Structure 1
C-alpha cells in the first residue's frame, strides 16, 4: 500500500528517496512525491504518474537536499490528484494569505485518521487553510499548531490527539538535518547508517543503503539526525530497540524472459514450494517454534499444540481462501474443529472465545492491518496461543505471534498474489500434519506418504505449467466476456473462489464463485451462452455430484471450461472445453488446480490490455483498515 522513505544525511538524498519509492512500487499506488530541506526552506515535487516521472521532475526542477521525506500514496481520503498527493505542507497561520507564506512543516503519512473531521473543523477555526481532501493534511497542520521550536515535542503533542492508524515522517523548515516519525497501527522502521539515518515503511525500501534495521514498536516515536537517533515509547520514555541485520531484497527483480511479474511469479511456484519445504525431513511440531527473541528461545509449538483443541484462522483476500482450504485439511486429517474468519469482520462482531484455541493468522506481508487488528482482538479475548503463516520473517505478524512458519516464496511484486498463495497452502498442510501427529491421528505410513507427495509437488507443478498454451486458448474466449462463474466442490470450492478473485483483480471481468451444489439455488439463473462457467473437477468423492452440476449448465446453453483430472472421463465437446490435469494429487490437489486459474487470469488480462502487475484501485500490502 502506501510507502514512506525518509533520510537525514550529509549528502544529497533525493536519488536515495526516489530509489526507495521504486522499491516499494510493487505495493500499488496512484500518486507519489518528495519533499526536502533545501536553501533554507522546503522544496517539493508531486505527481499522479509513476515514480520514474517523479525522478524526471526532481531532476528538471533541480530539487536537492540532505534531509527529506518521500511517499507513494494509495488513495483513501480524496481522489488520486496532485493536490491530495503527499508530502503535505503546512504554511501555518498569519496575516498573509496561505499561498504567500513559505511552508514550515512537510509530512507523509500511512494509515487513516478516524477523527480527522473534528480536528479539521478545529484547525480551520484557528485559521488553517486546507489544500486537500485528505485526513493527512490535518496532521501537518496539527504539528504546525503545536510547534514551538522543537519538532519532536510538536509531534508528541500532535499524535496524542490522533485516533486511528498512522506511520508518520516529518521535516521542518526551521530544523535542518532532522526527521521525526511515529507509528501506531502502521509499520515503520528505522535504518541505521554510517553518519546518516533513515525511516521507511518497509526495510525493502532501504535495500542496498543499509542492512541495520530497527523495527519500531506500537506507539513509538523516533527522532533522527545524520549521526544519531533516539526512540521514545508510547509513554514518551526513552527506550532502546534492538538493531537487526536484515538482508532485504530489492523489489526491482529482473523479469528475465517474462512479460510481467505476475507471469514470472506463477512460474516461480515450483521453486517457491521447494524452498518452503526445504529442511522438512519429518513432521514435528518444532517446525512451528517461535523465533528466538533477544537470546531467549521462542515458544514451543509442542507445548502449544498440546494445549489447544480448536483452530481459528484469521486472514483477508487470497490468504483467507488459503485458510478456507486448510479448514478441510485440519478437520479431515487432524480432526481439529476449525473456524475461518474474514479478519476485517471478526473483531466487529460478538464471538465466543475459547482459551484453548490456536489462533492462526495468514498474511503474505505480515503487515496486513485488518489481520493484525483481528489478532490483537483475539488475544484481548483471552486466546493467547497464536501462530502465523507468513512470507516475511521480520514482519509485525511474526513478531506478535508466539509461533510461526515462514514461507519462502521470495519477494512477490505483482499485486495479485500467486506464489504466496501456494506456499501458504504448503505451510498450512504442514501445520495440519503437525497437529494430526500431536493428536495421535497421523500414522507413520501416512506421514511417509504425505511427505513423499509434498516433495513431488515441484515436479507436479512444472507439469501443470506446461499446460499454459491450452490456457491461452481459453483466455482468448474470456477476453471478450464481462462476466464469469467459477464452480468447485469440497476442498476445491476455495480454489474456485481464488480463481474468480484472480480474474476480477487483473482483468476487471466480473467473476463469482459458488459451491457447485448451490448452482440450482440461484446462480443458475445467470447462465447463458455469454456466461462462461469454469469448473474445477478433480477425481474425488464429489466428482459424480459435480458432473450433475455441469449437466445443469449445459442444459441451459452455458459454455463450460473444465479443469479435469485425467481419469474423470470428462471429454471435450460442443460447449465443453476440457484441460486435462497431468495427475491426480489427492489432498494436495488444490496446489495444482489453482495454477491454471492463475494463468487464465493472467493471459485474459494480457488480451484485454490491462495493467497486470498494478491493477487499478488495488495495493499489494493493505496497511489500512
Structure 2
C-alpha cells in the first residue's frame, strides 16, 4: 500500500528516487524517505519527512544535497506506528550496516522482536519493518553474505513483503526480495532499478523483470542476477512495457481521474479490438478454448471494491444471457468461509492491479483445490496474471487515480465478452443474436463519448450538492449494480456518506433515513423495471427527497418525478452499465472538485491494496 524505488548506476540516485516516488504518490502515503550511499566516504545518508513528498524534496534540495549513485526510497502508509519521521522508511541497524525499505505486513513481528531483544537488539520505532532490517542484520552477522541473510530471514517471516536492501559492506549493489507484494526490476542505459509499480520507472526504461514469490534479485549498475529461496541462480526473461511515459501523465487535465474518465472510449475500444476479430470473440490469447467454456456449469466471481461491482453486473448478464448460475463474493469473505465450489466450475478473479491481497489469497485457495481460475487484470505480469490458469488482460493502460474508472469499464467489457461467448457455446443464442450483440458492443465507445459530451450539466448539478451529508442511490437488477459503483465513487473521493440500495428494499428499512432535502439518485435503464423503480422514487420524494433520475434517451416521463434528469444513449440493456456509470463517475468527481479535495489521492485510500 506504499511505494518503493531503488537505483544503482551512473547517475545521481537521489533525484531519480524522488522522481520515481512522485510517480507513486497515487498509491497513498503519509511519510517518505530516501537512503543514498556516498561513494567517496562510503557512508549511507538517510533523510525522512512526515507528510507529502514535497517536504522531503525541500529537505534534500530536490535530491541535489544527497550525493551518491546507489540508493533506495519509500513512501509509507502507516500500518504499525503513527505517521512520523521515526516510523518512516528507510529503516536501518544502529550502525547503518543494513538499510531496508518494505511494503507489506509482517504478521509475526512480535515473535521476531522478542527473539531479537534477547539477542541484544534495541528498537527506535513502532514499525514491523525495523524488525525485518534487524533480522536481516542478525543473519548477516551469522553468515557474512547478503544472499543467505535474506533467504534465512524470508523463511522466518510470516506475512507479505517487498524489500529493497542496501548493505554497507557491499557498495554498488542493491538487493530486492518479495512475497505477496508487487516488485519489479528495471534495466536502463545508465543502471538498474527496483520499483513497486511500473510508472515509477517508466521514464527511465520500459524493460523490466518480474520477481516471483520467495525470490531475490541482486542489482549492480551493469547487471541483475536472480535467485530462488535455495540461493540457486535462476534465469528470467525481460518484458517490454507497452505503455509510454506520456500515458502515465495528466496530459493537460486537472486531475488523473478526469483524464481517465475521458480515456474510457479508447480503453473500451482497445479492449473490444483485442478480443473481437472478424466478427467473432477470440479468447486464444487467454488460453481458453470454446469447448472448455461450454463445459463450465457454474461461475464464481471473486473481487474487491469496484471489481466486485463489476462481478455484480456480470452476474446479471451471465445468468440471463448464458443461463449459467453465478455467485459473486467479496474476496475478503470468500477466502474465509471455506467455500463449497461445485464441480465443473470456473472461478473468475477480478483485479485492476493483479496484486490485491485478498483476491490473490482466494486465487491460491482455489488452486490448492484444483479449481480452474481466470484472472481479469490490467497489469501485465502481475501476480494474479501469472498464477491464473487463464489470464484476460483488460488493456486499459496505466490508471493512476486511486478511484478506478477506465479499468472498471474495461472489466465490464470482459464480462460481456465472456457471457456472450458462453451463451453461444451453450446454444442459448443463435448466430444472428451473437452478431447483433457484438455489433451493438462496437457502438459503446462512441456512446460513452456522447455521454461525456454532456458533462457540463453534471458539473452544474454537482456544485449544488457539494455540501450534502448523505446521498442514496437506488436501482433494480443491473441498475442496482450501477448504483453500487456510483455510490462508491461518491464516497471515496468526496467523503460524503453515500449508500446504494436495491430499490425493492427501501420499505425494509432504508426509507427511514430519507428526510427533507436529501439527494436520492434513481437509476432506471432496464425497461422491465422502469416503472417499479419510478414508484420507489415517488415514495422517497413524498418524504422530502430531492431526486436525480438517470435513464436512457426517450424515457422523458421521468421528468414528471425527478427534479433533475440525466440521459444516456440507448443500447442493448445488458450493456447499459457501461454508459450509465459515466455520469455517476463525473458526479463524484465534480463534487470532490467543488469541495476542494485531493481527487486523485483520497485520504486513507491506496490504489493497490496489497495487505489484508
TM-score, normalising length from structure 1? 0.93
User: How far, CA to CA, are the matches of 2:331 and 2:278 in structure 1?
Assistant: 32
Unaligned stretches of 5+ residues in structure 1:
92-101, 291-298
The equivalent of 1:49 in structure 2 is 51
SS in 2 for 1:59: coil
Match of 2:137 in 1: 144
Deviation at 1:332, TM superposition (A): 0.6
How far residue 351 of structure 1 moved from its aligned partner, in angstroms, is 1.3
Q: CA deviation at 1:522?
A: 0.2
Q: 2:402 aligns with which of 397, 415, 421?
A: 415
Counterpart of 2:12 in 1: which secondary structure? coil
In the other structure, the counterpart of 1:178 is 173
- Partner residue in 1 for 2:285: 289
Matches within 5 A, 1:258-337: 258-279=253-274, 280-281=276-277, 284=280, 286-287=282-283, 289-290=285-286, 299-337=287-325
The equivalent residue for 1:34 is: 34
Partner deviation per Cα, 1:257-310 (whole Å, 9 max, x = no partner) = 4221111111111111111112513565632533xxxxxxxx343343143211
* Pairwise CA distance, 1:539: 4.5
Kept in 2: contact 1:204–1:248 (CA 8 A): no
Q: 2:447, 2:573 → 1: CA distance?
A: 12
SS in 1 for 2:161: strand
**For 1:254 and 1:67, how far apart are their aligned partners in 2?**
26
2:109 to 89, 104, 116: 116
Taking the aligned partners of 1:419 and 1:122, their CA distance within structure 2 comes to 48
Matched length: 606
- Residue 449 of structure 2 is matched in structure 1 by 462
Of residues 483-492 and 529-538 in structure 1, the stretch that sits farther from structure 2 once superposed is 529-538
Partner of 2:9: 9
| In structure 1, distance between residues paired with 2:564 and 2:202 | 47
Q: Name the CA distance, whole Å, in 1 between partners of 2:186 and 2:505.
A: 52
Instruction: State the 1:400 CA deviation.
Output: 1.4
Task: Tell me, in whole angstroms, the C-alpha distance in 2 between the residues paired with 1:206 and 1:473.
Answer: 39
- Aligned partners of 2:215 and 2:195: how far apart in 1? 14
Q: Is the CA contact (8 Å cut-off) linking 1:204 and 1:251 kept in structure 2?
A: no
- Give the Cα–Cα distance (whole angstroms) in 2 for the partners of residues 257 and 196 of structure 1: 31
Which residue is 1:535 aligned to?
522
Q: SS state of the match for residue 60, structure 2?
A: helix
Distance change (3 Å), C-alpha of 1:541 and 1:521: same
Q: Is the 8 A contact 2:437 2:572 kept in 1?
A: no
- Taking a change above 3 Å as real, the CA distance of residues 218 and 347 of structure 1, as seen in their structure-2 partners, is same
- Which residue of 545, 553, 570 maps to 1:558? 545
The C-alpha deviation readout for 1:444-463, integer Å capped at 9, x for no partner, is: 11112111211111111122
Query: Relative to structure 1, is the Cα distance of residues 388 and 288 closer, same or farther in structure 2, using a 3 angstrom cutoff?
Result: farther
CA distance, structure 1, for counterparts of residue 407 and residue 57 of structure 2:
31
SS of equivalent to 1:611: coil
The CA distance in 1 between the partners of 2:220 and 2:257, in whole Å, is 39
Partner of 2:182: 187
Deviation at 1:164, TM superposition (A): 0.5
Relative to 1, partners in 2 of residues 1:458 and 1:11: Cα closer, same or farther, differing over 3 Å?
A: closer
> Hey, what's the Cα distance between the residues in 1 that align with 2:246 and 2:341?
40
State the distance in 2 between where 1:185 and 1:86 align: 19
Q: Cα distance 1:288–1:426, how it changes in 2: closer, same or farther (>3 A)?
A: farther
Cα deviation 1:213-264 (Å, max 9, x = unaligned): 2211111122222333322213332221222233444377443442211111
Aligned: 1:162 with 2:157: yes
1:52, distance to aligned residue in structure 2 (A): 3.6
Question: Which SS does the other structure have where 1:82 is aligned?
Answer: coil
Q: What is the RMSD of the two structures over their aligned residues, measured on CA atoms?
A: 2.0
Q: Are the counterparts in 1 of residues 549 and 564 from structure 2 also a CA contact under 8 Å?
A: yes
CA distance in 1, matches of 2:544, 2:203: 58
Aligned counterpart, 2:204: 209
Structure 2: distance between partners of 1:245 and 1:412 = 18
Structure 2 residue aligned with 1:478, among 461, 465, 482?
465
1:574 positional shift: 8.2
- Give the superposition deviation at 1:49: 3.3
Segment of structure 1 superposing worse, 321-330 or 353-362: 353-362
Deviates more, 1:151-160 or 1:489-498: 151-160
Helix, strand or coil at the partner of 2:137: helix
**Would you say the 8 A contact 2:248–2:399 is kept in 1?**
no
504-513 vs 33-42, greater mean Cα deviation: 33-42
Range 34-43 or range 108-117, more displaced: 34-43
Contact 1:285 1:301 (8 Å CA) reproduced: no
Contact 1:171 1:178 in 2 (8 A): yes
Q: Counterpart in 1 of 2:483?
A: 496
Give distance in 2, aligned partners of 1:108 and 1:118.
Answer: 20
1: CA distance, partners of 2:244 / 2:29: 20
| Aligned mate of 1:618, from 605, 608, 611 | 605
Q: Is the 8 A contact 1:276 1:426 kept in 2?
A: yes
* Residue 46 to residue 515, structure 1, CA distance change in 2 (3 Å): same
- Residue 506 in structure 1 maps to residue 493 in structure 2: yes
Q: Is the 8 A contact 1:37 1:66 kept in 2?
A: yes
Query: Is the partner of 1:600 in helix, strand or coil?
Result: helix
* Structure 2 portions without partners, runs of 5+: none
Alpha-carbon separation, structure 2, partners of 1:356 and 1:342: 21
> 1:47 touches 1:85 (CA, 8 Å); kept in 2?
yes
Q: Could you say which residue in structure 2 is the equivalent of 1:131?
A: 124
Per the alignment, residue 341 of structure 1 pairs with: 329
Asked if residue 83 in structure 1 is aligned to residue 78 in structure 2, the reply is no
Distance apart, 1:434 and its partner CA: 1.2
Q: Match for residue 20 of structure 2?
A: 20
SS in 1 for 2:157: coil
Alpha carbons 2:151, 2:230 under 8 Å: kept: no
Partner Cα distance (1:42, 1:53) in 2: 20
